[in-house]
A and B are shown apart, each in its own frame.
Chain A
Amino acid sequence: MEFLEAVGKRRSVRWFKTWEQVPREKIQRILEVVRLTTCPGNLQPWRVVVVERDKIDPKERDQLLACDNWQGAHAQAPVWIYFYADPEGARPETFATRTKELIDVGALPAAFGWSSQAIDSAIFHNETMPAGMPAINELLHGLPYEMSANVAYAETVGACAVATLAAVNEGLGACLHMIAAPSKQEEVKRLLGVPDSFVPVWQLLIGYPAEDPDAGGMRPRLPFEQIFCHEKWGRPFTRNEHVVEELEAEGLKQPTGEPKPNRFDELKYLARMFGYPV
C-alpha cells in the first residue's frame, strides 16, 4: 500500500471480527516498523506488550477489559498492543549513549560540531554548545526525571501513530485506545508485569474490521487554514485546490463532514450481531 493511501484509508475501527485471528507474522511486521520509527536522539523509549486476546487466561482477559470499562472495540479486537514509555529511555545518560552511536554511524556529522566529547561536556558539565549545534546542555543537563517521562511519552505517541499506519498497511483495522481508566492503570501494569516506572501511553487495538473498513467515511477535520500558517501565526497558509485534487487522486481522501449513506443501518446491524444496545 502506498503511503498516501494508508493515511487516506486509515479510520479508527471500532468493530472487529472477534472470530478472525491476526497472524503472528502480521503482528511482528507492525512491531518491526515501530522499531524503526523516527525519534530525537534515537532514544527509542517505547516499550510494548502484545496481548493476543484468545491466548491469555480468560479471567485475566476480563480483568484487562474491566480496567478499560469493557469498551466495545477493546472487547472485540483480537490483538491488544500496549504502549508504555520508559523514562529511563530518555535520561541524559541514555541520550549521551544514543547520540554517540549516531556519531559512530555517521548520522551526526563532525562538520556540524558533533563529537563524543562535545556531548559529554554539554550533558554532564553544562558547557554551552557552539553555534551550529543544538543547545543540548540547556535541554539535558540536570534534566528532571519528570521531564524525561514527558519526553519518553511524547516520543512513544509518535511510535503509536506509525504503528497505526503500519497496521493499515497490513490490511487490518486499528484503533488507538486508552490503556485503562486512569484509576486502573496500576492494575493493568500488574497484570502485564510492566515496571512501575513505565508511563502508560496508548494501546493499539488491531484486527480484521467487522464494519466497512471505511467506518462510516472520513471524519470531520478542522479547516486547513485554521491549522497551518505561513511565516506568522494568523496568516493562513494558502491552500492550492489543485494540490488537494492531486492528493485525492493519489489516495488521500478528503473529509465530507457527513457519514456515509446507511452508516446507521450498519451500526444497528453490528450492535445486534455483537449484542450491544441499540
Chain B
Amino acid sequence: MSATEGRQGHGPTNVRAYKSIQLWMDVVNRMYHLSEEEWRGRLHVVQEFCKFEGKDPDEIIAEARGDRAEKIDYMRRLKRFVKTLTANPTVAHDYENIIRSFFINNGARVVTKPYSDVYNRTQ
C-alpha cells in the first residue's frame, strides 16, 4: 500500500508509511528509545493533526520547510488544534510538543518553550 492510499476523509490512516514519520521515529529512537506504546499515542496525535489540516505528514513537512510564513501558520493552527483535543493546558502543551518534535526532526525549525508554570514551581 502506498502512503497516500490509506487516507480516510481528510487524513491518512497509516501514518507510519510516510517518509517524514519514518525519519522522525528513526531519529528520536536513536537517542531516546521510545516504547511502542508511546509511539502509538504520538502517531495518533499526528494523525489527528493531519486530519485537522487535511494533509498528509509529508505534505505538511514539505510546506513547513519550504516557506517560513507557512511554518508559522502551522504553529498558530497547532495551538487551535490541541484545544480541540483537551482543555488541560499541560496536556495541550504535551500534544503541541509531539507535533513540534515531528517538525524539528524533519528539519523544520520551530520555537520551543517550557511549560508556562515553570517559574512558579516550588520543586
Interface residues of A (CB under 8 A from B): 18-19, 53-54, 58, 61, 69-70, 72, 75-76, 264-265, 267-268, 274-278
Q: State A18–B121 Cα separation when bound (angstroms).
A: 7
| Binary contact track B73-107/A, C-beta < 8 Å → 1, others 0 | 00000000000000000100110011011001000
Please state if A268 and B118 are interface contacts (CB–CB under 8 Å): no
Q: State A278–B34 Cα separation when bound (angstroms).
A: 10
CB nearest to A274 among chain B residues = B114
Please state if A264 and B31 are interface contacts (CB–CB under 8 Å): yes
Q: A76-B118, A275-B93 known; 14 other A-B pairs, CB under 8 Å? A: A53-B119, A54-B119, A70-B111, A70-B112, A264-B31, A267-B31, A267-B32, A275-B90, A276-B97, A276-B114, A277-B97, A277-B98, A277-B100, A277-B104
Interface residues of B (CB under 8 A from A): 28, 31-34, 90, 93-94, 97-98, 100-101, 104, 111-115, 118-119, 121-123
CB nearest to B30 among chain A residues = A264
What is the predominant secondary structure among interface residues of chain B facing chain A? helix
What is the predominant secondary structure among interface residues of chain A facing chain B? helix
Q: Which of A54, A58, A72, A268 contacts B114 (CB 8 A)?
A: A72
Please state if A75 and B118 are interface contacts (CB–CB under 8 Å): yes
Shortest CB-to-CB span from A217 to chain B, Å, is 15
Q: State A268–B72 Cα separation when bound (angstroms).
A: 26
